């Protein structure tokens, strides 16, 4: 049997389950506007398990035996659904990001620049940073989708951002650079 945590360490792509609709502490429904805490642990057969806790249950959760087995945790808030029209530009950028992540080693710089752009526009939310094999990585959540992405982080000063932006514009197919002021 493949160990998912070992696989995670080599591929840096973590399959994190979606948010639970109920608090793992006392089964209260997690409502829009509520803050909650997510805890990631490894199950008996190395599967990734996510437990979500309301703010009232979190102090008890961090004292539990389960917390000692944690692989990660974060605080979040369930956003109220907005009736905004999704921007085609951001949708295309998010779609391109997902496509580039299918071959991350070949597209690291483009992936990172897209993540900065999408984070600035609040389409991606940085949940956790970690170091692995001498590199910085970020665990990002796609806003309102409860989907997670692991992305290598680069110092912006080391990138040739103009060249990366041109490559992204070509891949996006609109002939326009992602504007520097958005980065």
In this predicted structure, the answer to whether residue 30 has a pLDDT above a threshold of 70 is: yes
How far is Cα 34 from Cα 19, in angstroms, rounded to an integer? 13
Average the pLDDT over 139-149 and give the result: 87
For residue 182, what are the β-bridge partners? none
In this predicted structure, the answer to whether residue 56 has a pLDDT above a threshold of 70 is: yes
Kindly list the domain boundaries of the chain, sorted by start residue: 4-77, 88-182
Strand order in the sheet with 124-132: 124-132, 135-142, 147-153
In this predicted structure, the answer to whether residue 79 has a pLDDT above a threshold of 60 is: yes
Please, which pLDDT band fits residue 144 given cuts at 50, 70 and 90?
Answer: confident
pLDDT at 82: 64
Please, which pLDDT band fits residue 84 given cuts at 50, 70 and 90?
Answer: low
3-class SS at 114?
helix
Average the pLDDT over 73-82 and give the result: 82
pLDDT at 4: 46
pLDDT at 125: 92
In this predicted structure, the answer to whether residue 10 has a pLDDT above a threshold of 50 is: no
3-class SS at 141?
strand
Average the pLDDT over 146-158 and give the result: 89
How far is Cα 167 from Cα 95, in angstroms, rounded to an integer? 15
C-alpha gyration radius of the chain:
18
Please, which pLDDT band fits residue 67 given cuts at 50, 70 and 90?
Answer: confident
3-class SS at 145?
coil
Say whether pTM exceeds 0.75.
no
pLDDT at 15: 74
Average pLDDT, the chain: 82
pLDDT at 5: 43
More confident residue, 35 or 80: 35
């Amino acid at each position: 049997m493949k160990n998912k945590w070992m696989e995670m360490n080599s591929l840096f792509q973590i399959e994190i389950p979606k948010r639970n609709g109920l608090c793992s502490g006392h089964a209260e429904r997690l409502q829009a506007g509520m803050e909650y805490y997510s805890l990631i642990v490894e199950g008996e057969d190395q599967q990734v398990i996510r437990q979500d806790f309301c703010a009232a249950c979190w102090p008890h959760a961090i004292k539990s035996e389960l917390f000692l087995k944690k692989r990660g945790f974060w605080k979040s808030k369930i956003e109220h659904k907005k009736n905004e029209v999704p921007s085609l530009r951001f949708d295309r950028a998010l779609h391109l990001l997902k496509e580039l992540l299918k071959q991350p080693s070949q597209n690291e710089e483009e992936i990172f620049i897209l993540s900065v752009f999408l984070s600035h526009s609040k389409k991606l939310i940085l949940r956790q940073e970690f170091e692995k094999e001498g590199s910085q990585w970020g665990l990002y959540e796609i806003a309102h989708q409860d989907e997670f992405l692991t992305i290598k982080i680069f110092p912006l000063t080391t990138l040739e951002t103009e060249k990366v932006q041109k490559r992204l514009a070509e891949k996006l197919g609109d002939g326009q650079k992602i504007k520097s002021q958005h980065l």
